[in-house]
Amino acid sequence: MALAELFERVPALARLEALSRGFTRRQLVAVAVQEETLTLSWLQNGERQWRGVDLPVDLCRDGLPMQRQALGELCADLLLDCGLSPAAVDLELLLPLEACQWRLLAGSDGGVDLRGLDAAALRRLAPPLDWPLTLDDAYLALMPQEHAASVQVLVGAQRLMLQAWVDVAEAADLSLQRMDWLLAAAWRGLVAGFDQLPDELVWLIRAKGGWRVLVLAEGLPELDRWIRDQDLAPDLAPEEALRLELEALLVGWEQLPGQGGGASRWERHWWITARPDAQEQWLGWLAAFADGPVLGRRSPQAGTVDLHADPLMALALAGGQDLDLLEERRPELGLPAPTPVRRASRSLLLQGAGWGGGVLLLAVLGLGGMAWWEGQQAQHLEALLPVEQQVQATEAKLRRLKSRTATLAKDNKQIAKQLVAVRSGSALLEQLRRITPQGIQLKDLNVNDDTIKLSGAVQGGGRPGPLERINALVLALGKLPQTQADGVKVVKVTRNDKDDASTVSFSLTWALDSAAKPSLQMLQDLGAEGMAERLRLLEREGVEL
């Protein structure tokens, strides 16, 4: 308290202290008081550390610290014994089981969404809660349920109770980060540990002087009762008396209106939160009594179990930070909203400098590597320069050879076409002789490129007549493969009558198809041996025609 008063008198010291906290590595420490024991827990090198100390008699009674200054100094001394500086500690306080009350709030029907409900609205509604607190004289906090929009869990603590624990944190000169309730946090941790929530779970918690029994329906607390050791039947063994009391409690719970007879004993899941010695002393009968799964057991022989850890607090530390009982108290004290736990500025600065230096070093190494690679490539290019010049000269020579080859091929093809384009006179005359009808006398044949002009005469009289014979000649010429379509045309027909004989003179044009090439067999049949030999030679040499 002296340090806090000094900060109030000298604001500059408060600002200096806040600045020093920013450069000090912060350590989040959870503190809980349970069964006359003060327990501390924190993470060190990724491992959970535990430290507990027994409290003097009457230092804390029913969850309320009776000597706040002494409890705060004890907490500070314990932190120093653990090697933790109070100035570098962010305190997360878990209030004892007796310090708070809770209720399950549900809408009048399943469709009412209570996620928007807050403490102020709840005070205005003033619903009957059947608890020893008055809404105006209590600090309230609500926990919405993601899987049930029509349900919220209300946690309340007396203003005197909460202020007493705030005074304890101030007496220890600790930065109070958040205040939670041990039972609510443990419940959240228990629910979070299930992938599939059981329909009904009986949760047994060994607490000071008795057992706390909770019945969770689909993860929601429906029943919360104390079974005190002093209330058990004195004429029975303690474990047998506990069994009978628990059985009577569950039977009564099943018979309540709205429970529908309850779940059968063998359908229930069980969870035990107690130290191994308490389990052996009180719950030896549970395996036979509960036919359903019994979870949460802790064995002293298990190598993975930390026997110094408080089982209820271990569950609470797994419950997250969904509840803060200081939410309504902070505005009254003028404190800002709690900030997420951040890493120390010094470590962040060192890490940032390390990352920045690493990136800069990588950039410098990359530039050096690129410069070296550029030099290597320049050397390779210089070594390949003569090869490039030789390749360029070879490519130029190859282009010239290709051009010359193309020219020669074109000339050869033209020569070959000219060789076979000249039609054999003997083959033409022989072909005309074979198709000329009897009685027709061919007098003149004139070749002009692909057109041949024929003229002749036909003696008059007889059957068939002269015109029929001329027509037969035209049809025969038209059927030849080298004749163009409609390539035979009669130019002139003249009749000459002299003495007793008459003749019919005619002339016609015969257009040839230059694309039609005679075959070797055809040339040989027509007697054009020379032309056939030339064609055979060109084909053997592979000249395209």
**pLDDT tens by residue, 145-180:** 776 667 889 999 999 999 999 999 999 999 888 999
- Which pLDDT value is given to residue 302? 43
Q: ∠ at Cα 413 (411, 418), nearest 5°?
A: 95
Confidence of residue 182 (pLDDT cuts 50, 70, 90): very high
For 8-25, what is the mean pLDDT? 61
Extents of the domains making up the chain: 197-308, 422-541
Contacts of 101 (CB under 8 A, 6+ apart): 131, 132, 133, 155, 156, 157
Does 19 score more than 80 pLDDT?
no
Lowest mean pLDDT among 49-53, 301-305, 539-543: 301-305
Does 307 score more than 60 pLDDT?
no
3-state percent breakdown (helix, strand, coil) of the chain, nearest 5: 45, 25, 30
pLDDT more than 90, % of the chain: 23
List, in sequence order, every beta strand (DSSP E) within 66-207: 89-95, 100-106, 138-145, 148-158, 175-181, 200-207
Nearest to residue 103, comparing CAs of 93, 92, 114, 112? Answer: 114
**pLDDT tens by residue, 386-425:** 888 888 889 999 999 998 888 887 776 766 555 555 454 5
Please state, in angstroms and rounded to a whole number, the distance separating the CA atoms of residues 256 and 203: 19
The more confidently predicted of residues 401 and 333 is 401
Question: Which two three-digit tokens encode residue 274?
Answer: 């107690």
* Contact (Cβ atoms closer than 8 angstroms) between residue 179 and residue 95: yes
Exposed e or buried b per residue across 384-393, where buried means at least 16 C-beta atoms within 10 angstroms of its C-beta: eeeeeeeeee
Question: Which two three-digit tokens encode residue 243?
Answer: 């069994």
- Which pLDDT value is given to residue 126? 86
CATH of domain 422-541: 3.30.1360.100
Does 129 score more than 70 pLDDT?
yes
- Which pLDDT value is given to residue 110? 53
- Which pLDDT value is given to residue 295? 84
Q: ∠ at Cα 177 (171, 182), nearest 5°?
A: 90
Exposed e or buried b per residue across 343-367, where buried means at least 16 C-beta atoms within 10 angstroms of its C-beta: ebeeeeeeeeeeeeeeeeeeeeeee
CATH of domain 197-308: 3.30.420
pLDDT more than 70, % of the chain: 79
For 34-45, what is the mean pLDDT? 88
Q: ∠ at Cα 146 (144, 151), nearest 5°?
A: 50
Eight-state DSSP code of residue 22: H
For 324-348, what is the mean pLDDT? 69
In the block, which residue shows the tokens 């089981």? 97
Question: Which two three-digit tokens encode residue 141?
Answer: 């906090």
Q: Model-level pTM?
A: 0.59
Please state, in angstroms and rounded to a whole number, the distance separating the CA atoms of residues 60 and 45: 32
Confidence of residue 214 (pLDDT cuts 50, 70, 90): very high
- Which pLDDT value is given to residue 115? 67
Confidence of residue 29 (pLDDT cuts 50, 70, 90): very high
**pLDDT tens by residue, 254-300:** 887 766 444 554 468 889 998 888 888 888 888 778 767 888 776 54
Confidence of residue 305 (pLDDT cuts 50, 70, 90): very low
